[in-house]
Amino acid sequence: MVESDPRRSIPRTDLLLASPDIIAAGEHLNQATVKAIITEVQNAARNGEIPVAEVTPTLVSTLRSRTASSLTPVLNATGILVHTNLGRAPLSPAATQAVTEAAGYVDVEMNLAGGKRSKRGTGAKTALLRACPAAGDALVVNNGAAALLLAVTALRGRGAASGTVGSTATAGSAAGSPDEIVISRGELIEIGAGFRLTDLMTTTGARLREVGTTNRTHLSDYAEAIDATTSSLLKVHTSNFRVEGFTASVDVAELRTLADEHDLPLIVDLGSGLFTPDPSLPAEPDIDTALRAGADLVIVSGDKLLGGPQAGLILGRTEAVQAVAKHPLARALRTDKLTLAALEATITHTANPVHDALHIDPDHLRRRTDSLAEAVGAKVVAHDGRVGGGGAPGVPLPGWAVELPEACAAALRTGDPAIVARTHQGRCLVDLRCVPEADDDRIAAAVRRVLTADHLGEESHDNDA
């Protein structure tokens, strides 16, 4: 007789859905999600990934462990403060509380005293203006790219910054209409995943007028490029690379003089989001300085050095910000109540994980690192952290890390808790700079488990051979 295929014994979907154990395990999930998980487990059995007899136990375990989101919380042990792959800036306790409180019904567009509709995001706007008195007005949109897109679209043409030119210019305007953005060749930036700011700006229908060279741009280059088609002057901080050596660039104050001569708006994209200068990052530009130097608009991201949620912040002269806010595109790019709440809390409260990691006490960090190394039987090595996320490129943040075998990195990433360390030159480096001190013991326990795992022992034997 031909032996029956065991896969014929895989329980049917209707029987699994009717199982009391499965109903209890999946009671926190909707029917569509439960069915999808059942299909996944059945397919795993069909493919031989699990025994047929384990279908029901595996399904119960999977349903019980399914959390509200597929995102996995991780401990950032890379030493990179603003790690794009890990969600950039972690929210502060105050911002986290604000998001929770804003999750229900809130007065995001209502004046409770009068019972009438009010403007959106007034709390976040007020917080921004208090933190940056040089700004006359502020606007929050959903990310930095959106802020730049909106700014170059709305402020198109002479007088736009003062509100004397409308914001309805579009591609295909009559010949001679202002639709050219003047920008230095040294500031044509590509960021992660192949995204280019140049491509973003040309989607508005405007053209880019590149001036100067990659390493040297002078005020005369801008002046010679301006004509009747010029829309605006744009200066972009090269936040994810540095050009060193024989270089020259034009600062905001010089561009302000030129912009006034031709009645043009001056837009400055800083990216990383410092309100004021930070001695730890002396070359990193800040919002206050750029505004006082004469920028009509300054654009930054909320989830970088500011340490808040993903958002695009536009600060500047009152007339310029209002021209941007009134543009129809602003509605499509506006942010939600959760972001507004988190942003306001980030700005108004002192505790900030990114700020704390940047200014961490080096002696205290060394003691924590020594304690971890002693607890797991490893050694401490010098290790430079980084700002990351397109901030302070090439600026080291001196510190230390615990050195482990390279194979530990994958095991730590897939463990509980998930720990993302740095791999470099055949080593796994655990840097505590961005790890909350309360989690040091969890890190130590996870490293001990990984170091005693069979696969690491086998790797060690293989290397000895």
Q: What does the pLDDT read at residue 158?
A: 54
Residue whose structure tokens are 């510190």: 399
Q: What does the pLDDT read at residue 177?
A: 61
Q: What does the pLDDT read at residue 242?
A: 83
Tally Cβ neighbours within 10 Å of residue 365: 19
Q: CA-to-CA distance for 430 and 132, rounded, in angstroms?
A: 37
Instruction: Find, among 304, 300, 242, the residue nearest to 80 by Cα.
Output: 304
Q: CA-to-CA distance for 389 and 228, rounded, in angstroms?
A: 37
Q: What does the pLDDT read at residue 173?
A: 43
Q: What does the pLDDT read at residue 243?
A: 86
Establish whether the linkage from the previous residue to 417 is cis, with ω within 30° of 0.
Answer: yes
Q: CA-to-CA distance for 257 and 423, rounded, in angstroms?
A: 48
- Cβ–Cβ under 8 Å, residues 344 and 368: no
74-85+355-464 has CATH 3.30.70.980 classification = no
Q: Write down the pTM of the prediction.
A: 0.90
283-294 CB burial, b ≥16 within 10 A, e <16 = ebbbbbbbbebb
- Cβ–Cβ under 8 Å, residues 323 and 154: yes
- Cβ–Cβ under 8 Å, residues 211 and 235: no
Angle of helix 93-102 relative to helix 337-348, nearest 10 degrees, comes to 150
Q: What does the pLDDT read at residue 153?
A: 94
pLDDT in tens, the chain (465 residues): 456 788 889 999 999 999 999 999 999 999 999 999 999 999 999 999 999 999 999 999 999 999 999 999 999 999 999 999 999 999 999 999 999 999 999 999 999 999 999 999 899 999 999 999 999 999 999 999 999 999 999 997 655 555 544 333 333 344 446 789 999 999 998 877 788 888 998 988 899 999 999 999 999 999 999 999 999 999 999 877 888 899 999 999 999 999 999 999 999 999 888 999 999 998 899 999 999 999 999 999 999 999 999 999 999 999 999 999 999 999 999 999 999 999 999 999 998 999 999 999 999 999 999 999 999 999 999 999 999 987 888 899 999 999 999 999 999 999 999 999 999 999 999 999 999 999 999 999 999 999 998 555 554 444 443
Domain definitions of the chain by residue range: 6-65, 74-85+355-464, 93-350
**Secondary structure letter of residue 174 according to DSSP:** P
**What topology does CATH give the domain 93-350?**
Aspartate Aminotransferase; domain 2 (3.40.640)
Same fold across 74-85+355-464 and 93-350:
no
